[in-house]
């Protein structure tokens, strides 16, 4: 008994299609995004190195060579090993979280109210838009007089900066809720707290979290200059102290710490937004 094996030539197009099908499109997309992110980071570091080399090569600016990547990362590693990076970050994180809690406590209920009631929305539009356009740092003299400590004043400034994105995003999210949902819920005997917990909060969650993400970015920017005066801890104080002592490598390392923490906070907000999104990425 003999077995005959017949070999057939598979067209090249079919082979390429089989290869594409064997690789998960999600994996390809993730690898492409990682590659592009690495490329962008590399370009940023290259430009930073070029700027540091230009500064160090010029005798008039050679004293600022500590801003270059090499001395910055050397000092950053020393700050991490000694725990200095954590010690100066914790007070700032405490202040921004306290400010965000106050902003959420005021912004979400007021946002729901102005999204729900047309008269309240019409009456508050001009005052709220007017107050929103005032720089949070402009409230610093009032905050200093109103609060007994600088910590409380800084928390107030963070809350003032963060409340507006949360408030307006929450109001926008409420206005997108289908009114039929409320009618069906009432016909089923839903109480006001049922409407709040089962319809309103789930429906506005993505918009509110998007507002919180914007608020975190604004508050993180406001926090650093607010810490320049009065306090003896935090990232803003560390930058001011490094500038006064002419430790430019420490100053640049502190800036890197600020950017890294801000990036982590923004990534956390993005994860929270994706977790409540009704639209899933394929």
Q: Does one domain contain both 27 and 112?
A: no
Count, in order, helices (H) and strands (E) of the chain. 12, 0
Q: In 10 A of CB 237, how many CB atoms?
A: 20
In a domain, 64, yes or no: no
Q: Does one domain contain both 225 and 264?
A: yes
**Confidence (pLDDT) at 12:** 53
**Confidence (pLDDT) at 199:** 80
Q: For each successive 10 residues of the chain (282 residues), what is the average pLDDT?
A: 50 54 67 83 84 77 76 89 90 93 94 90 90 89 87 92 94 86 78 79 89 93 86 87 85 92 92 75 44
**Confidence (pLDDT) at 247:** 85
Supply 279's token pair.
């639209």
Domain containing residue 42: 12-57
Q: Does one domain contain both 127 and 259?
A: yes
pTM passes above 0.75: yes
Q: Does one domain contain both 51 and 185?
A: no
Q: Does one domain contain both 128 and 46?
A: no
Q: Does one domain contain both 103 and 43?
A: no
Q: Does one domain contain both 234 and 189?
A: yes
Contact 214, 40 (CB under 8 A): no
Q: Does one domain contain both 40 and 82?
A: no
**Confidence (pLDDT) at 264:** 93
**Confidence (pLDDT) at 19:** 56
Q: Does one domain contain both 184 and 94?
A: yes
In a domain, 119, yes or no: yes
In a domain, 107, yes or no: yes
In a domain, 3, yes or no: no
In a domain, 6, yes or no: no
In a domain, 281, yes or no: no
Residue 218 maps to which CATH number?
Answer: 1.10.3720.10
Q: Does one domain contain both 155 and 43?
A: no
Q: Does one domain contain both 51 and 86?
A: no
Overall domain count for the chain: 2
Which DSSP string do the residues of 33-82 spell out, in sequence order? Answer: HHHHHHHHHHHHHHHHHHHHHHHHHSTTTGGGGGGSHHHHHHHHHHHHHH
**Confidence (pLDDT) at 8:** 52
């Amino acid at each position: 008994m003999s077995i005959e094996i017949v070999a057939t030539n598979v067209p090249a197009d079919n082979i390429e299609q089989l290869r594409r099908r064997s690789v998960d499109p999600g994996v390809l997309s993730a690898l492409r995004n990682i590659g592009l992110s690495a490329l962008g980071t590399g370009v940023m570091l290259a430009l930073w190195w070029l700027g540091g080399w230009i500064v160090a090569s010029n005798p008039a600016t050679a004293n600022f060579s500590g801003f270059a990547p090499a001395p910055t990362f050397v000092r950053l590693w020393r700050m991490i090993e000694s725990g200095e990076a954590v010690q100066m970050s914790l007070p700032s994180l405490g202040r921004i979280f306290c400010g965000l809690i106050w902003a959420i406590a005021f912004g979400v209920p007021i946002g729901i109210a102005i999204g729900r009631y047309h008269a309240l929305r019409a009456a508050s539009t001009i005052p709220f838009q007017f107050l929103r356009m005032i720089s949070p740092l402009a409230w610093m003299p009032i905050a200093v007089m109103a609060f007994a400590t600088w910590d409380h004043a800084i928390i107030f400034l963070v809350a003032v900066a963060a409340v507006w994105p949360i408030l307006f995003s929450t109001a926008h999210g409420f206005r997108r809720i289908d009114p039929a949902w409320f009618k069906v819920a009432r016909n089923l005997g839903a109480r006001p707290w049922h409407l709040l917990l089962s319809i309103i909060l789930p429906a506005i969650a993505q918009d509110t979290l998007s507002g919180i993400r914007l608020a975190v970015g604004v508050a993180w920017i406001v926090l650093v200059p607010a810490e320049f005066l009065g306090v003896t801890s935090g990232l803003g104080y560390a930058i001011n102290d490094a500038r006064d002592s002419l430790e430019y490598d420490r100053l640049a390392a502190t800036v890197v710490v600020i950017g890294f923490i801000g990036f982590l906070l923004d990534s956390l907000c993005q994860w929270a937004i994706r977790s409540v999104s009704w639209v899933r990425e394929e």
